[in-house]
Amino acid sequence: MKKLTILLLTFLFISQSCTISYKLNGASIAPEVKTVSIQYFTNRAPLAMSNLEQIITDNLKDKFKSQTKLKRVDEMGHLDFSGEITQYFTKPMAITGDEVAAQNRLTIEIHVKFTNEIEPQYNFDQNFSQFADYDSNSDLSSVEQELVDEIVEKLIEDIFNKSVVNW
């Protein structure tokens, strides 16, 4: 009984003095991948915010800076992103009994080309689309920045997950 008590106290002491930390960002990047390059996303969508391409490009760079240890290079990184904004539009969503829109939806679509030099099986060339709804009583210009920030965050998360989260 004495040995069991000593063993239990030793275990408790060790477990209290040790901490284990895990970083669960989900990224699954091969150890050979050391660099990432993110080209400027061009705007091909009519009527889009004037600085949308800068917002998308910067947010994608920030995502890789904060979630990975990859070194950012201007060109020819082991991981390389390029793309363009292809759609930016609003449309009515919830129609009331008076045939008036109660909500509108802002949608942004971007086309992304991703090249993984080390693991080419993960390359892709595809469109990503996200949206956010807003009250039709609000003028788009008064809520646009908030909506764009929300949509871009979702788009960047989708791109990051598709490119480096291989679950």
Name the pLDDT band for 19 (thresholds 50, 70, 90): very low
Mean pLDDT, the chain, rounded, equals 87
Residue range(s) defining the domain that contains residue 68:
2-164
What predicted TM-score, i.e. pTM, was given to this entire model? 0.81
Element (H, E) at 105: strand 101-116
12 or 63: which carries more pLDDT confidence?
Answer: 63
pLDDT tens for residues 83-137? 999 999 999 987 766 667 789 999 999 999 999 999 999 999 999 999 999 998 8
Domain count, the chain: 1
* CA distances, 145 to each of 5, 8, 71, 141 (Å): 62, 58, 30, 8
Under a CB-based contact definition with an 8 Å cutoff, are residues 84 and 125 in contact? no
Q: Any idea what the CATH number is for the domain that residue 131 is in?
A: 3.30.160.150
Tell me, what DSSP letter sits at residue 65?
H
Side-chain-side CA neighbours of residue 45 (13 Å)? 22
